Structure formats: structure tokens, C-alpha cells
Amino acid sequence: MENRLIEVQDLQVGDEIMISCQSYFKYLRVLTPPTMSKTKTSWRTKKPMHANFRCTTRQEEVLSYSYTDSAGKVHNRMQKTWIPTPEDHNLRVSVDLNSRQIWLVKRETI
């Protein structure tokens, strides 16, 4: 049942999924069931699309680089990085999963 591609309408609360986003992989845990949007429609087919999903994920702020300016003050540049792990999720996000490839990693069985 796990480790396969899945469609948006087949998602369930508690599913752990992975998606690609820009140059990162995001490991998400689904918190809301799939619902149809009242306002979003497909530009091509004009059919209603699914609403955004509420998910949890892990994101950390890591030191990208630091430099010293001419006055001798040290500046640290931080960068937010997505951590693809199932443990210690620290962020709740709303994600649009329409027209995306979704990889089902783990399905919560009751």
C-alpha cells in the first residue's frame, strides 16, 4: 500500500507524503481530508479543483554564510531549509496539491 504515487482525491488524514518543490523535497503529514474548492477551477477544463491541504512538515534555519564588514561587525546570513523527515515536525503549512506528483510514504492504519 505504501511507497507509490497517489492521486489527490485518494489522500487520507494521517498520510505521510513527499512532494518536490523547487529544488527541495518536502515530507508532509496530511491533517485535513480532501475537499473541493468553491472558487478554484481548472483553467483548461473549467472543472472545480481540490482546496489546499493543511499539513505539518519540518523546516530549519541554518547558517548560510557569515562575513565581516568594514566596521568589523560580523553578519550571519541564515537560510530556511526543508528537512525531509517524519519526526519532529515544527511547521504547519497549507499546500496546493493539485496537478502535482505525490509520493505516498506511509499510510496511518487505524
Q: Judge if pTM exceeds 0.85.
A: no
pLDDT confidence of residue 40: 83
Place of cell 478554484: 40
pLDDT for 38 beyond 90: no
**Cell numbers found for residue 19:** 512532494
Q: Which residue has the higher pLDDT, 43 or 32?
A: 32
Model pLDDT, residue 28? 95
Interval 39-55: pLDDT, tens: 888 878 888 888 899 99
Q: Residue 74, class by beta-carbon neighbours within 10 Å (0-12 exposed, 13-18 middle, 19+ buried)?
A: exposed
- 59, 80 contact by CB (below 8 A): yes
Distances 95 to 63, 73, 84 between C-alpha atoms, Å: 26, 39, 16
Confidence of residue 110 (pLDDT cuts 50, 70, 90): low
Q: How many residues are there in the chain?
A: 110
pLDDT digits (tens, 9 = 90+) for 14-27: 999 999 988 889 99
